[in-house]
Amino acid sequence: MSWALMARDSGTNLLDSLSGIPGLKVKTAEPMARYTTMKIGGPADYFIEAELNTALARALKLLSAHDVRVCLLGKGSNILVSDRGIRGAVIRLGEEFKRASWREEGRASVLAGAAFAMTQLVREAARRGLAGLEFGEGIPGSVGGALYMNAGAYGSEMEKIVERVDGMTSAGEAVVFDRQEMTFSYRDSHLPPGTVVTGVTMRLEKKDPAEVSAKVRELVARRKQSQPAGFPNSGSMFQNPPGDFAGRLIEAAGFKGKRLGDAQISDRHANFIVNHGGARAMEVKQLMDAARAEVKARFGIELVPEVRFWGEW
């Protein structure tokens, strides 16, 4: 799961300046298909891996000064990157942002770095007998991406457990948001534009580890029964409209299993599009547009994309 920041283009000595920052790895013209769960996407002008908090702050300040467009990448789910790629910089958080600090006595909680994988966090919480994160089992994203998207499933979502968010502005300045300062809605945390999430504190509940683990196993089984496996995908393509399900509407419109090139609306769950090996972003988008138009024509419901479109379209 992932979130975008906007600016414009770069200056002449930017690459040298970025390369000189300790804790930063920089690549140019890097194919984004290597980093998205759908295995689709053209090259990013700059691909930056920030291993340290200090390196991230310096990189953001520098990119802001050069007016560079920046996208912050989590685990690469819930995004569709254009075949033409991304003009500007993509930043992925590394080692210092993959740590978690647990509080198990008294008021249980976890402070997880933004790059910590949601599924890994869920399973670690279950081993410790800490409940509240089970809904995140199978969400193929990072903690930061899940927070940004207000990810949820099976009747719960990030909004219900978040206590505090640590982050940076687009200029690299530290910011903190307490729960009472935040406003959540379906698949959106409404963070101020340009905010980069670096860590999330979540309140949990102490329970029997066996009970929590059993709940996680139950949700794993439910996901395996309903969601496609074996082919790259980006998770749910559309938000569920109020009182209904996007997958049901797409299937009722006759689009389940429809294929364009190597992109196919899953024959297992119609709100997923899978890549059979050589799918292009434009094929995925054309399938989305066609399904969306048919649902609108038949049922009068306007499906809203859940996946975010990155790059040049």
Active site residues: 187, 236, 306
- Dist CA 13 CA 274 (whole Å): 40
Strand 43-50 to 86-93 pairing? parallel
CA-to-CA distance for 30 and 7, rounded, in angstroms?
19
End-to-end Cα distance, the chain? 21
φ, ψ dihedrals at 172, nearest 5°: 85, 15
Specify whether the CB–CB gap between 274 and 231 falls below 8 A: yes
**What is the SS3 assignment for 214?**
helix
DSSP string, 60-129: HHHHHHTTB-EEEESSS-SEEE-TT-EEEEEEEE-GGGS-EEEE-SSS-EEEEETTSBHHHHHHHHHHHT
Determine the Cα–Cα distance for residues 127 and 59; give it in Å rounded to an integer: 37
The span from the CA of 128 to the CA of 292, in Å, is 43
Q: Which residues contact 265 (CB under 8 A, 6 or more apart)?
A: 250, 255, 256, 257, 258, 259, 272, 273, 287, 291
Task: Write the single-letter amino acid at 111.
Answer: L
Map tokens 């559309």 to a residue.
238
